[in-house]
Amino acid sequence: MAEFLVKMADERGNVLEQVDNGFSAQEVRDRFSQQGYLVYSVKGRTGLLSGNLFGSKKRIKTDPFIIFNQQLYTLIKAGLPMLMVLDLLARRQRDPFFKSLLENVHERVRSGQLLSEAFEAQQVIPKVYTTSILAGEKSGNLEEVLSRYISYQRITNGFRKKLISSLWYPGLLFTALTIMLSFLFTYVVPQFSDLYKGMGADLPEVTKMLLAFGTTVQGHFFILAPAILILILAVVIWTRSAKGAEVLDKVRFKLPLLGEMWMKYQVALFSRTLATLLFGGLPLVPSLETARNAISSRKISGLIETAATRVREGRALSVALDETKFFPEMAVEMIEVGESTGALHSMLNSVAEFYEEDVQNSMTATMQLVEPIILIFMAFIIAFVLIALYLPIFSLGGQLSGGQ
């Protein structure tokens, strides 16, 4: 929750200022208005103490959200009233942030708002979820929509976890390489530098270069380390800006192997999201506009927006996607078949399954290639450093043997 500075007047006309927590400025304004205050302004308080360093709002974790929806589905199916369900789930929730969110949703539903409107007002709930709930409320098929959304979340979350788990081992290897190099150049190499200075030996050029680099790193370590951390933080903050995110998105697509996998992953996510919305009874154009919000890639999101405009003008979805000249040909053909047979949402699920499996297989093959490369690189670096450090000792040993 964020902090807001509220300026208001009570029923006697006294002007008050108060700092209050809320999910959005509108939510805080509505709450004080319901209490009888005349609200003049609601301004967010920014800074390191009222928000995080990167300025991103707090989010609900995926796993607790899936569990909540499973419980919501079960209780609704059992015939319990919505207010009782929300109250029960809010009291059972252990996460303080999610608990306060559910309490706010409960209050809004009790005041007459739809469940989808109450969740949308929190501004931290995925648009796909609130749109799906709205479609279920309009069609009177909320239970089926919830069940479909739970399946969608489980599949996408499971797929995301598989991709992340496949990156753990290469990440550990890279971390080990970084620690090893830091230890060599900040401790081992300077020790050999002191040794050779005392001996007064004539060192090979490669050894001189290595010793000079190591002593420089050691001497400026307390400057270099903070500078590197600041640089990393600056890059992270920049990538979260509009311009930085756009540049990062372009770079992702240009990466060898990984660029194609990133594109297929986004297509799979788009297809499964669109299928879930269509199954819930939402029309195609609103489904496209909502599905684009679930896509991380700004480029693909923009292309989907263009396709939605062309579909609104009367073109088929497959034709609109094909005109973007970016979506895979197989995906477009499968969507065309789905449109012609009247089973678009089923075919979109098939598209998602196909590309999810393709991405998983490509990721596995790539990691099998990357892991040995990292190991070979580590071995090469260690061998180079050891040879450079011990070469003068071998030369001195040879000279002593020749002198005898």
Structure confidence at residue 192 as a pLDDT band (50, 70, 90): confident
Mean pLDDT score of the chain, rounded to an integer?
Answer: 83
Q: Is 203 a residue whose pLDDT tops 90?
A: no
- The larger pLDDT score, comparing residue 290 to residue 34, is at 290
pLDDT at 18: 73
Q: What is the pLDDT of residues 93-144, one digit of tens each?
A: 888 888 888 988 998 898 888 999 889 888 788 888 988 888 888 878 888 8
Structure confidence at residue 181 as a pLDDT band (50, 70, 90): confident
Place of tokens 């939510």: 27
- The larger pLDDT score, comparing residue 55 to residue 194, is at 194
pLDDT at 45: 58
Structure confidence at residue 50 as a pLDDT band (50, 70, 90): very low
Structure confidence at residue 231 as a pLDDT band (50, 70, 90): very high
Q: State how far the Cα of 220 lies from the Cα of 124, in Å rounded to an integer.
A: 44
pLDDT at 70: 93
Structure confidence at residue 395 as a pLDDT band (50, 70, 90): low
Structure confidence at residue 394 as a pLDDT band (50, 70, 90): confident
Structure confidence at residue 84 as a pLDDT band (50, 70, 90): very high
DSSP lists the bridge partners of residue 2 as: 22
pLDDT at 196: 78
Q: Is 49 a residue whose pLDDT tops 60?
A: no
Q: Is 404 a residue whose pLDDT tops 60?
A: no
Mean pLDDT of 169-184: 83
Q: State how far the Cα of 184 lies from the Cα of 181, in Å rounded to an integer.
A: 5
Q: What is the pLDDT of residues 325-365, one digit of tens each?
A: 888 999 999 999 999 998 898 999 999 999 989 988 888 88
Which of 9-13, 53-57, 59-63, 300-304 is modeled with the greatest confidence?
300-304
- The larger pLDDT score, comparing residue 169 to residue 333, is at 333
* SS3 readout for the chain: CEEEEEEEECCCCCEEEEEEEECCHHHHHHHHHHCCCEEEEEEECCCCCCCCCCCCCCCCCHHHHHHHHHHHHHHHHCCCCHHHHHHHHHHHCCCHHHHHHHHHHHHHHHCCCCHHHHHHCCCCCCHHHHHHHHHHHHHCCHHHHHHHHHHHHHHHHHHHHHHHHHCHHHHHHHHHHHHHHHHHHHHHHHHHHHHHHHHCCCCCHHHHHHHHHHHHHHHCHHHHHHHHHHHHHHHHHHHCCHHHHHHHHHHHHHCCCHHHHHHHHHHHHHHHHHHHHHHCCCCHHHHHHHHHHHCCCHHHHHHHHHHHHHHHCCCCHHHHHHCCCCCCHHHHHHHHHHHHHCCHHHHHHHHHHHHHHHHHHHHHHHHHHHHHHHHHHHHHHHHHHHHHHHHHHHHHHHHHHHHC
pLDDT at 47: 42
Structure confidence at residue 61 as a pLDDT band (50, 70, 90): confident
pLDDT at 87: 93
DSSP symbol at 185: I
User: Among 97-106, 205-214, 313-322, which is the least confidently predicted range?
Assistant: 205-214
pLDDT at 112: 87
Q: Is 228 a residue whose pLDDT tops 80?
A: yes
Q: What is the pLDDT of residues 247-289, one digit of tens each?
A: 888 888 888 878 888 899 899 989 988 988 888 788 899 899 8
